[in-house]
C-alpha cells in the first residue's frame, strides 16, 4: 500500500518531539509500492531534496523539511537459509528493531541480544551501524538491499561494501539509497554470547552460563534505569559520538585529567567517553530554557516539552564549546541535523 501526503506533520515521527512539517511524505508497505511510485514520479523525486526516515529517533529537525520524506513500513521477515550453526534472515527495513531483537531471542538466535531496547527501525540499524554493550549491527549483517531513489534501481551491498565503522556506513554518504531489507546471519549456538563490556561483565560475574534471554533482560533493565523514555521525554539517545583520538593526545590528557574515561579503539587510538567530558564541564542535569542534559546520563540532551529544534541545536553548541575550552576536543553530533 502506498500513501502520499502534502505538508505532513512530523511530530509523531521524531523522538525529540519537534513540531515541523515535510512538504511531501511518501509511505509504503512493500518494495514494489516504492518501485511503482518511483516509476511514475522520478522527475518529482529528482527535482526535490530527499530524506528517508525510520523512527526518527536519531534526527533533530531544526526547520520544516522542504522536500520529499520517504518512510518505509516494509515488515516482511523471511528465512533465506539455515543449517545447524546459523540462520540467514531477510528482514524488512520498516520492522521495529526492538521487535526483531525480541523475535531473535525468543527463537534462540544469538547475535543481537546486546542491542536490546535500541529505538528505531531495522533499515536504520544498518545506516547507523547501531551499537551497545560491545556489539554492533555490522557483526551480524551479511547483505543490505536497497533502492536508489534517483534512478529506481535495486542494489545489493555486502558487509564489506557497506564500509561499516563506528556509527557509520556508506549509507550515511549516499542518502539516495533507501534500504528495503537487511539480511542478518544469527547463530544457533547460543554459547557464543558476548559479555566483554564492563557493565555486563560486572552484572554476570556470579552468573554461570547465562542464556541470551538473561542478557536481554539485564540490558533492558540497565537501559530503562539509565535512559529517559523518549515517548515521555523527547530525546535521541546519545547526542554526541564518543571522540576518537590518537594515543599521544590521550596520554597528554590523562596526565592533566587522571580520571578521564576511555576505551581501547585501535592500535594507535582511543575512544573517549563523551559523557565523562560533558559531565566534567558541569553539564549533567543542567537545564537552560526548554532544553537540558539528562541527570542520569550526560550524553543525552532532552526537550523539556516546548523546545524548537534550533533551541536544541544552540544548546548542543554550548556543550561543544565548553568541552573544547577545557579539553581541546571537538565533540561531533551522533544525531543527524536537518
Ligand X SMILES: Cc1cc2nc3c(=O)[nH]c(=O)nc-3n(C[C@H](O)[C@H](O)[C@H](O)COP(=O)(O)OP(=O)(O)OC[C@H]3O[C@@H](n4cnc5c(N)ncnc54)[C@H](O)[C@@H]3O)c2cc1C
Catalog residues that contact ligand X under the rule CB under 6 A: 15, 51-59, 72, 93, 118-121, 123-125, 127-128, 130-132, 171, 178-179, 227, 230, 235-237, 336
Residues contacting residue 321 through CB under 8 Å, at least 6 positions apart:
none
Contact 296, 226 (CB under 8 A): yes
* Torsions phi, psi for 277 (to 5 deg): -60, -45
Shortest Å distance, C-beta 265 to ligand X: 16
Shortest Å distance, C-beta 136 to ligand X: 8
Question: Which DSSP state fits 96?
Answer: B
Distance CA 152, CA 157 (A): 16
- Choice between 58 and 190, CB closer to ligand X: 58
- Choice between 127 and 141, CB closer to ligand X: 127
Shortest Å distance, C-beta 153 to ligand X: 15
* Torsions phi, psi for 314 (to 5 deg): -60, -40
Distance CA 114, CA 131 (A): 8
Q: Which three cell numbers stand for residue 282?
A: 558541569
115 SS3 class: helix
Strand partners, 9: 21
Rounded to a whole number of angstroms, the distance between the first and last alpha carbons of the chain is: 28
Distance CA 90, CA 103 (A): 13
- Choice between 102 and 247, CB closer to ligand X: 102
Shortest Å distance, C-beta 67 to ligand X: 12
| Catalytic residue set | 167, 238, 334
Shortest Å distance, C-beta 185 to ligand X: 19
- Choice between 182 and 253, CB closer to ligand X: 182
- Choice between 311 and 338, CB closer to ligand X: 338
Amino acid at each position: 500500500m502506498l500513501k502520499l501526503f502534502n505538508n505532513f506533520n512530523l511530530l509523531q515521527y521524531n523522538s525529540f518531539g519537534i513540531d515541523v512539517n515535510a512538504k511531501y511524505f511518501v509511505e509504503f508497505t512493500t518494495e514494489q509500492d516504492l518501485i511503482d511510485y518511483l516509476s511514475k514520479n522520478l522527475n518529482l523525486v529528482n527535482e526535490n531534496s530527499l530524506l528517508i526516515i525510520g523512527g526518527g529517533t536519531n534526527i533533530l529537525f531544526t526547520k520544516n523539511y522542504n522536500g520529499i520524506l520517504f518512510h518505509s513500513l516494509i515488515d516482511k521477515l523471511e528465512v533465506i537459509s539455515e543449517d545447524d550453526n546459523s540462520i540467514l534472515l531477510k528482514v524488512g527495513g520498516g520492522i521495529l528493531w526492538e521487535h526483531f531483537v525480541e523475535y531473535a531471542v525468543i527463537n534462540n538466535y544469538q547475535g543481537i541480544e546486546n542491542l536490546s531496547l535500541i529505538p528505531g527501525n531495522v533499515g536504520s540499524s544498518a545506516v547507523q551501524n547501531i551499537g551497545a554493550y560491545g556489539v554492533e549491527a555490522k557483526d551480524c549483517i551479511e547483505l543490505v538491499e536497497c533502492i536508489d531513489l534517483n534512478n529506481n534501481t535495486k542494489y545489493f551491498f555486502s558487509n564489506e561494501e557497506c564500509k561499516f565503522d563506528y556509527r557509520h556506513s556508506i549509507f550515511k554518504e549516499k542518502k539516495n539509497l533507501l534500504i528495503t531489507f537487511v539480511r542478518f546471519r544469527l547463530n544457533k549456538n547460543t554459547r557464543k554470547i558476548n559479555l566483554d563490556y564492563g557493565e555486563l561483565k560486572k552484572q554476570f560475574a556470579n552468573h554461570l552460563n547465562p542464556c541470551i534471554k538473561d542478557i536481554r533482560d539485564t540490558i533492558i533493565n540497565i537501559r530503562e534505569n539509565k535512559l529517559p523514555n523518549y515517548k515521555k521525554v523527547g530525546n535521541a539517545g546519545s547526542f554526541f559520538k564518543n571522540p576518537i583520538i590518537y594515543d599521544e593526545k590521550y596520554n597528554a590528557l590523562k596526565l592533566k585529567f587522571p580520571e578521564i574515561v576511555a576505551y581501547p579503539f585501535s592500535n594507535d587510538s582511543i575512544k573517549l567517553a563523551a559523557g565523562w567530558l560533558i559531565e566534567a564541564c558541569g553539564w549533567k542535569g543542567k537545564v537552560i530554557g526548554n532544553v537540558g542534559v539528562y541527570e542520569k546520563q550526560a550524553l543525552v540532551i532532552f526537550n523539556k516539552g516546548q523546545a524548537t529544534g534550533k533551541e536544541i541545536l544552540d544548546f548542543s553548541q554550548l556543550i561543544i564549546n565548553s568541552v573544547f575550552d577545557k579539553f581541546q576536543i571537538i565533540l561531533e553530533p551522533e544525531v543527524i541535523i536537518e
